[in-house]
Chain A
Amino acid sequence: MSIKISGVGKRFGDFVALSDIDLDIPSGQLTALLGPSGGGKSTLLRIIAGLELSDAGTVEIEGTDATDLPAQKRNVGFVFQHYAAFRHMSVAANVGFGLKIRKRPKKEIAGKVDELLSLVHLSQFADRLPSQLSGGQRQRMALARALAIEPTVLLLDEPFGALDAKVRKELRAWLRRLHDEMHVTTVFVTHDQEEALEVADQIVVINNGRIEQVGTPDELYDRPSSEFVMSFLGPITMLDGRLVRPHDIEVVAVPFPDARAGRISRSSRVGFEVRLEVNLIDTPQAPPVLVTLTRAEATAKRLDQGAAVWIKPVEADWSCHGR
């Protein structure tokens, strides 16, 4: 195990940020700490980095007890949401800072900086100031800076949170490719479940200072251990007293066995998806059931607003009951 966290707790005044956290983060993998804001995931990341000290418990990094080590000595690379660029230094000086601290010879630093800048595609900006770069470029610089010290662990705190949607998607994919090339143990914090699902090998869902569930993206999405995890990881809707995914509901314009009857009260098209709200005949007071399907399917089945339909959850070998 690359990082071993045992019994970690942290409070700020009366507020309990983390409570009794036990977690193993595997070596060489990309782990996401996912959860709502204020849930404690950033705090946990900062405790791993040594930027916060825990009130209780231990942190072990690659077999060494790092609990009382200050950030300077942990050899972790940290990437911040707002880049934390050294504004008065050039891009190259930023990237080489960690090596300069470690008193490496100038030639070695220059070589390493060149290598990293070409890795993150910023070679032509080496002598520019961070203020002359876009947000996405600054974050790539921050990443290069963190990687320059050859960290044991790479930690990223909502790294794409401050960027446009399009840039976010690009950098997300790029981070995954980078990880596949470099295999540094990476932990990143996000509140965006799509990001976690797309990028991570393993997801840790954290809410209210506790771990809700740990698993691969598929495990968390298809077999959530709680209502919270299910609702956080993807869309949900209530049908027959169960929580189901809207895209796991079969909907047709003709009756079929075990299906519930209803009427489409609203139909909206978002890209390739069609989202339907279906009011059930039996329970007109209940909130409508959400059903999503592809546009092609919807057109083929002639599911227009006001149409009468019959819906039934697709058979699954697992279920999560609504509470």
Chain B
Amino acid sequence: MLWFSLLVLIPLLAIVIQASEGGWQAYWDALTSPQTAAALRLTVTQALLVTLVNIVMGTTIAWVLVRDRFWGKQILEVVIDIPFALPTIVAGLVLLSLYGPSSPLGVDWANTKGAVFLAFLFVTLPFVVRTVQPVLIELEPEVEEAAASLGATRFRTFASIILPALAPAITSGAALSFARGLSEYGSLVLLSGNLPYSTEVASVRILSYVEGDKLTEAAAVASILLVVALLVIVLLDLISRRVARHG
């Protein structure tokens, strides 16, 4: 327990305290300074967009993995976890090779907002899939058969019976995906160029503040990310309690 507090709580507390050094005004100024505000806006919007895509694609991928049968499906299982296991800097390099200057596709999205979107999409790939998959596996086939016997088409069964059962899992996955996107750093270093006002994200902002020895400002931005992380955790806890109630 003691070790855990040393490692976790004290440093996190330090951020909060450092951020409040200089009072509310300094805190607010740091957050609303044009470059920082732009970085925060970019980070949040891209993370939200990516989360929306993940909700749809993640559920689809989970569905195919659980309900479909074809040669090579096992390979896909490993593929989905690659973004989770791969070092983020390597992820940047990986995406650069297909979407950067020497791309065989002829596109070049390096240093654009698209690069930020792409990087977020890559690193958040596994989250919705992995939360939805176990729930899909556990779904009783009898419930779908019951719906069929009562006259529901496959589509109706999916919309009225399956999707509501998946909703908590999708929400958990979406929350994790959003938090992860918000915190991303490594893959953007090489891919987005970290151009101020256009491809600079919140994490990069913090790093520049640190390198410029502006620790209070750094802590201010960091505190926002911290608050979001805590909100996500609370949300996940609420969801798991609600699911337990439904039995």
Majority secondary structure of chain B interface residues (helix, strand, loop or mixed): helix
CB distance from A133 to the nearest CB of B (A): 10
Residues A88 and B165 in contact in the complex (CB < 8 Å), given A51-B148, A76-B149: yes
Say whether B140 faces chain A, with CB atoms less than 8 Å apart. yes
Q: Please, how many angstroms separate the alpha-carbon atoms of A76 and B146 in the complex?
A: 10
Say whether A131 faces chain B, with CB atoms less than 8 Å apart. yes
Say whether B147 faces chain A, with CB atoms less than 8 Å apart. yes
Contact of A87 among B148, B151, B247 (CB under 8 A): B247
Q: Please, how many angstroms separate the alpha-carbon atoms of A86 and B147 in the complex?
A: 9
- CB <8 Å contact, B164 and A88: yes
- CB <8 Å contact, A51 and B151: no
Which residues does chain B contribute within 8 Å of A145, judged by CB atoms?
Answer: 146, 150
CB distance from B154 to the nearest CB of A (A): 9
- CB <8 Å contact, A84 and B146: yes
Q: Please, how many angstroms separate the alpha-carbon atoms of A84 and B152 in the complex?
A: 15
Q: Which 7 A-B pairs have the closest CB atoms?
A: A131-B247, A98-B150, A84-B142, A78-B149, A84-B146, A71-B148, A101-B151
Say whether B245 faces chain A, with CB atoms less than 8 Å apart. yes
What band does the interface of chain A fall in when counting residues whose beta carbon is under 8 Å from B?
20 to 34
Q: Please, how many angstroms separate the alpha-carbon atoms of A287 and B8 in the complex?
A: 74
Which residues does chain A contribute within 8 Å of B150, judged by CB atoms?
Answer: 97-98, 101, 145-146, 149
What band does the interface of chain B fall in when counting residues whose beta carbon is under 8 Å from A?
20 to 34
Which residues does chain B contribute within 8 Å of A149, judged by CB atoms?
Answer: 150-151
- CB <8 Å contact, B151 and A80: no
Most buried by B among A72, A74, A75, A102: A72
Which residues does chain B contribute within 8 Å of A87, judged by CB atoms?
Answer: 143, 165, 246-247
Residue of B whose beta carbon sits closest to that of A93: B160
Which residues does chain B contribute within 8 Å of A146, judged by CB atoms?
Answer: 149-150
Say whether A49 faces chain B, with CB atoms less than 8 Å apart. yes
Say whether A130 faces chain B, with CB atoms less than 8 Å apart. yes
Say whether B156 faces chain A, with CB atoms less than 8 Å apart. yes
- CB <8 Å contact, A72 and B151: yes
Say whether A77 faces chain B, with CB atoms less than 8 Å apart. yes
Q: Please, how many angstroms separate the alpha-carbon atoms of A80 and B140 in the complex?
A: 11
Q: A71-B145, A86-B143, A101-B156 are in contact. List 13 more A-B contacts (CB 8 A).
A: A72-B152, A80-B142, A84-B140, A87-B247, A88-B164, A88-B167, A88-B246, A97-B152, A97-B160, A98-B150, A145-B150, A146-B150, A149-B151
Q: Please, how many angstroms separate the alpha-carbon atoms of A70 and B150 in the complex?
A: 11
Residue of B whose beta carbon sits closest to that of A71: B148
Q: Please, how many angstroms separate the alpha-carbon atoms of A82 and B160 in the complex?
A: 20
Which residues does chain B contribute within 8 Å of A102, judged by CB atoms?
Answer: 151
Which residues does chain A contribute within 8 Å of B137, judged by CB atoms?
Answer: none
Q: Please, how many angstroms separate the alpha-carbon atoms of A102 and B151 in the complex?
A: 8
Q: Please, how many angstroms separate the alpha-carbon atoms of A301 and B109 in the complex?
A: 100
CB distance from A311 to the nearest CB of B (A): 49
CB distance from B145 to the nearest CB of A (A): 5
Say whether A293 faces chain B, with CB atoms less than 8 Å apart. no
Say whether A129 faces chain B, with CB atoms less than 8 Å apart. yes
